[in-house]
Structure 1
Amino acid sequence: MATSPRHHRLRHPHAVSTVANAPTVRFVIPSEVEESLDFLLVNHITQAFVLAAGLGTRLRPLTEEVPKPLIPIFQKPLVTFALDHLINAGVNRFVVNTHRHPELFQTFFARHEYAGFPVTLVHEPELLETGGGIKNVEGILGKEPFIVYSGDILTDVALEPLIAEHFRAGNEVTLGLRRNTGLGAGVVVRAGRIVEISKEYNPKENFDYANISIWNQEIFNRIPARQKISFIPVLIDWIQDGGRIGGVALDDGNWFNIGSRKEYLDVHRAILNKDWRPAYLKTRDWAEPVAKSAYVDPTAQLHGCTVVGPDCRIGAEAILEDTILWPDAEIASQTRLEACIVRSRKKVSGVHRNIDI
């Protein structure tokens, strides 16, 4: 993440002007805001850009055959948690970027929809990073505000405060922030405005970026076309130019970054041990340790946080502990697995510990 060369304290205007379109309607607007009032009439967001083009390097070999946003969390693809969360917040159309294995996204979204809401896939043959990715979908997102949501997190933080503050403050960008995410960023907030972004994280004063944010169309004017660029340096320059870049703490609920095998195993343990289920999920049987279509021999033993995906087969006297099986995995009789992740259609025998197969 780029580092801001200096602190930049934003000026907070005190003067306000009022505009009334009707006797019962009154707007209070910072005097420096020169945008049309139509923008301020909007109090909800109906579109989102879901980032799903990452390489998933730290999760290899798990991501060699399946892109990280499609890896299963208790048999449910990771990216669908983002979509369910956004639908619950009022979003009704999605843009999803892809890079590795785009055909798997095409198969999963074969009807170009999710839960009845339209999904537009945008393939990036060459990675554009977050800023370039946003610019690349300008023609689809148009002039309305939109949410950017990372497809490799799993969270149930409340999105409503983020959306409400974006419009209340008249921000051009509002970042969702959180402490102790492990991402190592340093975002300094003063009176609701972000004044610095750096790599020098101080948990007593700074926040991490929570990988959820809201953007207005102005961002498209600040990102060069067809260029690979993170949005972080774009925001740093914008802050220095006096841009209205806000931040809202999203410290409620659970927040998981699925970036490594440890984090992948940890999120399964948290879900199982804490009996955690995001309130926005509609699927009744989610988080079943053993899928209904799986076969487990009566003499096999499953211990700890062991998850068995659909159509898996576990042979006689096999012992699995803290192990996750993706769909169609086959475990031979008398196999011993501890803290392993077995990918789809893999056949495993013998004794293994702490490996991905």
Structure 2
Amino acid sequence: MSRPVEITSEIDPANYSEIIDVRSPSEFLEDHIPGAINLPVLNDKERAMIGTIYKQENPFQAKKLGAALVSANISRAIKNNLIHRDKDYQPLIYCWRGGQRSMSMATILSRIGWKTTVIEGGYKTYRASVRKTIEEQCSQLDLMVISGLTGTGKTEIIKQLQLADEQVIDLERLANHRGSLLGAEPDRPQPSQKYFESLLAQNISGFSSKKVTWVESESNKIGNIHCPEALWLKMKTAKMIEVTVDINVRVKFLLAQYPHMTASPELLKEKINLLHHLYGKKQIKEWCAMIDESDWEDFVQSLLEKHYDPSYRRAINNKQRTEVAQYELTALNESSIAELVQKLVE
């Protein structure tokens, strides 16, 4: 006798062997439960075709053709992806609304003998849980913002705090972007806004309000990603520590951190030209000349002094944070950052 399909509104990946998203690839790409695999019962082209037939021609014909396509795709998924799963396999399945697509897959998997569960309300239920987690968790966080001019090692401090088992929100890692004009990561596209929020919700879901949560100072936009309002409002009024570093040390540190920029001078000039409306043709021409001459240290120092540092100071003045400490680093290396992190967690 086959197992009945179970229905749940509680989404805890730890309770299941695997999470299967049966929506189309484009739906999955926009957002999905982190860690889920995509086994679409209809691909994008098939889904569009069935929808068109249903609306414009004959709903019954659409259902018959849809059933044939779904059956073939589920068969392929079992043969290619699930054939080696053992009898204790317990998948959690969802589609857009917890309807026909997820139940089609779930029914067959349960007939095999696997304990199969479907998310009630599907992705819509999951998406609501993401928004709720961000709203509720962010309001309760004891947030400490790590602030400092560009090139003061804030990201490395965040990484070291995470290694020390501190509660950390690494926004740049989640957004795949370093949060500035030159912050795009080579060959690593940014996630969609919704998937960024999924990753953020996963990140903070287990955080305790009784412990400090560390976050790097960012603007409300990281590349193409917007910081959710609940977190952004919390960051604007949070406690803050500031890290200061001599500009010569910062210049050398940034050159070591951005080798892909000095290796692609034409791309770098394209990005610099985006600042023409702020600084005019003369300044842009000076920066481009430094790039052409590979005068990297002077270029970076000029960009810091004329663009990044003034922008940072303006942003800080628009926030209502309470500075609780200031730390000066004479070097930016693993040992100096580890020493600072030790002071922060004591």
Higher strand proportion (structure 1 or 2)? 1
Larger Rg over CA atoms: 2
TM-score by length of 2: 0.27
Higher helix proportion (structure 1 or 2)? 2
